[in-house]
Amino acid sequence: MKIAVAMSGGVDSSAAAVMLKEEGHELVGFTMQLWDQRRGINVDENGDPLPSRCCSLDDVYDARRVAGRLEIPFYVLNLEKDFERDVVEPFVASYLSGETPIPCVACNSRLKFASLDKMAVSLGCDKVATGHYARVVYDEGADRYRLFRATNHWKDQTYFLWELTQEQLSRAHFPLGEMQKEDVREIARGVDAVTAEKQESQEICFVPDGKYSEFIDRYLEHEGRPMPEEGDIVNSRGETIGHHTGIHRYTIGQRRGLGIAHEKPLYVTQIERLKNQIIVGDDTDLDANAMIAKGVNWIAFDAPSKPVRARVKIRYRHEPFPATIVVLPDGSARIVFDEPQRAVTPGQATIFYDIDGGDEVIGGGWIVGKDDE
């Protein structure tokens, strides 16, 4: 089988390439150049470049070196303009609208897999392989591709893959779906010691220091756009009790950094973009009985006409919980929780798993907000 393999220069993609090579497949290696490091946006307070986890020159060099040792063709895809248009710009706009986005989902489905699919087809490749921890199985009876969590649940990355279409899943191949991390490192050591020992980053790749609001400030300044305005922090009664420095600096559930002295801890419970307000309340105000999700993608079956029972996750490191999902006339979904959930956050992704405790991904969507009416 001829396979296009995405090679980031990290341990996971390097191990995936090694495994596929040892299985006898014909490989073509690709690295995606996503973020222009020369723009001077990712700098610290002294103006010095921040260490990058987004296809830096070192990462490209490491990927090329692994491809060379495996003796496979290697190409670099320049996707900088697409990445900024499809990932960075929506990320900035989402924060400025009062949401807390997770750009890795859109990056995978709308950029990486879409671009690799197109390149793979042009080169006659049958599959597109990546170093994601996930599993894809073809159900012949249903004529459908199904997505499952990795056997290593702690490393599982299906949260970032729920938006993949049936066409994309038909070509997706995840060699690490049943692997443990240390075994993956051992495989990578066999071909390149440097990539095998690379540390992982939990941050968004184009914001390596994790300071999202500061990245947005630098991005807006670089683009010559107006900076977010300051505004009021109000309580549930609409009384002004403080001032904020821009709604992009706050997220649902935030307690620290509000600058308000109060007898009880206060939490951000809502962000009102149109009024430019941060609304705060007690801990109990964060609880939600239901929420709305848009942009829902159903993987296990077509959009259901009846309510579906599922286990639902509302953030990456969140334990899935039982809920009932009802598809609304516009294609969005109302998710009713069996028990109230804390800090439902607009802009985050939600993913639906098999209600019976299995690993199958039923589908997913984008959180609009809680809906307790």
Contact 353, 149 (CB under 8 A): yes
Secondary structure of residue 175 in the 3-state scheme: coil
To the query of whether residue 107 is one of the catalytic residues in this protein, the response is yes
CB 313 within 8 A of CB 320: yes
Which string of b and e fits 201-228 if b means at least 16 CB within 10 Å?
eeebbbbbeeebbebbbbbbeeeeeeeb
The residue annotated as part of the active site, out of 54, 55, 107, 125, is 107
Amino acid at 245: T
From the candidates 54, 104, 125, 205, which is the catalytic residue?
A: 205
Rounded to whole angstroms, the Cα distance separating 206 from 17 reads: 24
Distance CA 323, CA 352 (A): 9
DSSP lists the bridge partners of residue 363 as 298, 352
Burial label, 259 (beta-carbon count in 10 A; 0-12, 13-18, 19+): exposed
Which tokens go with 47?
């103006």
* Residue 205 a catalytic site member: yes
Active centre residues (catalytic): 107, 205
